[in-house]
Structure 1
Amino acid sequence: MAVSISAVALLSIVVFVLIRGGNVRIGPALACAAFGFFLASTGAAPVISTAISAVTGWIASI
């Protein structure tokens, strides 16, 4: 749970900086957010969550 909240906070900051910097417009950013929202309700969500947990665990062990 703590990893997902940290990931959401980090990714929201990255998106905010990209929008403010002019690298990403608001439309594509909203489309990506909607894609992530709908992806979370599919069968791929547990696989993605497990992969992210494995990567963060690997990074923490370094």
Structure 2
Amino acid sequence: MSITVSLIAILGLLLFFAIKLRSATTGAVIIAVLFGFYLARTDAAPSVNDTVTSLTNALTDIGT
């Protein structure tokens, strides 16, 4: 778990800087995919899933 959390932190920082620099390169896409992949394997995955589900439900309610 500690290796995964460290990797998540590193990938999160890299993704933050890629977004901050508005970098839309292949490397930034790979970082984003890896960040999501490893985040899904942590204990935060259910919370992230619940948040995304709530946001999508709220957006669909706004449209109707």
TM-score category (smaller protein): 0.5 to 0.7
Structure 2, gaps ≥5 residues long: 1-22
% identical equivalent positions:
30
Amino acid of the residue matched to residue 49 of structure 2? S
What is the RMSD computed on CA atoms of the aligned residues?
A: 1.1
Quote the residue 2:36 is aligned against: 36
Say how many residue pairs are matched: 40
**Structure 1: which 4+ aligned runs deviate by more than 4 Å?**
none
Matches of 2:25 and 2:61, distance apart in 1: 37
Structure 1, gaps ≥5 residues long: 1-22
After TM superposition, the score normalised by the length of structure 2 is: 0.56
After TM superposition, the score normalised by the length of structure 1 is: 0.58
Higher relative contact order, structure no. (Cα contacts within 8 Å, ≥ 6 residues apart): 2
Quote the residue 1:24 is aligned against: 24
Quote the residue 2:53 is aligned against: 53
